Structure 1
Amino acid sequence: MHRLILMRHAEAEARAPQGGGDIDRPLSARGRAEAAAMGRALAARGFKPDLALVSEATRTQQTWQQVRDTFGPVETQIIEHLYDADARTLRTEVEINEDTGGCVLVLAHNPGIHQLAVDYLVESAASVSVLEKFSGGFPTASCAIFSVDAAGRPSFEGWLTPSAL
Structure 2
Amino acid sequence: MKKLFLLRHAKSSWDDQVARDFDRPLNDKGKRAAATIGTFVKRENLTFDLVLASPAVRVIETLEHFEEACGLAIEPQWDRRIYLASSVTLIDVLRGANDEAESVLMVGHNPGLEDLVFDLVPDDGSSAARDEVETKYPTAAFAELSLAVEKWEDVADNCGSLDRFTRPRDLDPSLGPKYN
TM-score (norm 1): 0.89
In the TM superposition, residue 9 of structure 1 has moved relative to its aligned partner by 0.3
CA contact (8 A) 1:16 1:22 kept: no
The 2-side partners of 1:84 and 1:150 are apart by: 26
2:122–2:161 CA contact under 8 A, matched in 1: no
Question: For residue 131 of structure 1, what is the aligned residue in structure 2?
Answer: 130
Letter aligned with residue 163 of structure 2: E
> Structure 1 stretches (4+) deviating beyond 4 angstroms?
none
Deviation at 1:15, TM superposition (A): 4.5
The two structures have a TM-score, normalised by structure 2, of: 0.82
Report the counterpart of residue 111 of structure 2 in structure 1.
111
Residues 101 and 16 of structure 1: CA distance in aligned 2, closer, same or farther (over 3 Å) = farther
User: What corresponds to 1:14 in structure 2?
Assistant: 14
Output the CA distance in 1 between the equivalents of 2:138 and 2:33.
Answer: 11
Contact 1:126 1:156 (8 Å CA) reproduced: no
Q: What is the SS of the residue equivalent to 2:122?
A: helix
Q: Give the Cα separation in 1 of the matches to 2:112 and 2:92.
A: 12
Mapped to 1, the partners of 2:56 and 2:34 lie a distance apart of 15
- Equivalent residue number for residue 142 of structure 1: 141
Q: Which runs of 5+ in 1 are unaligned?
A: none
Check conservation: 2:8, 2:108, Cα contact below 8 A.
yes
Name the CA distance, whole Å, in 1 between partners of 2:143 and 2:117.
7
**Residues 1:95 and 2:95 aligned together:** yes
Residues 86-121 of structure 1 show CA distances to partners (whole Å, capped at 9, x for unaligned) of 111111111211514221000000100110011112
CA distance in 2, matches of 1:77, 1:27: 20
Structure 2 SS opposite 1:47 = coil
| Structure 1, 53-62 or 39-48: larger mean CA deviation | 39-48
Q: C-alpha distance in 1, partners of 2:74/2:101?
A: 10
Distance between the aligned counterparts of 1:11 and 1:49, measured in 2?
Answer: 23
C-alpha root-mean-square deviation of aligned residues, in Å? 1.9
**5+ long unaligned stretches in structure 2:** 152-158, 172-180
Aligned mates of 2:45, 2:2 — CA distance in 1: 13
Tell me by how many angstroms 1:159 deviates: 0.5
Counterpart in the other structure of 2:80: 80
In the alignment, does 2:165 pair up with 1:156?
no
Q: 1:164 to 1:74 in 2, by over 3 A?
A: same
Counterpart mapping for 1:51-70 below 5 A: 51-69=50-68, 70=70
**CA–CA distance in 2 between the matches of 1:9 and 1:155?**
22
Matched residue SS, 1:63: helix
How many residues matched? 163
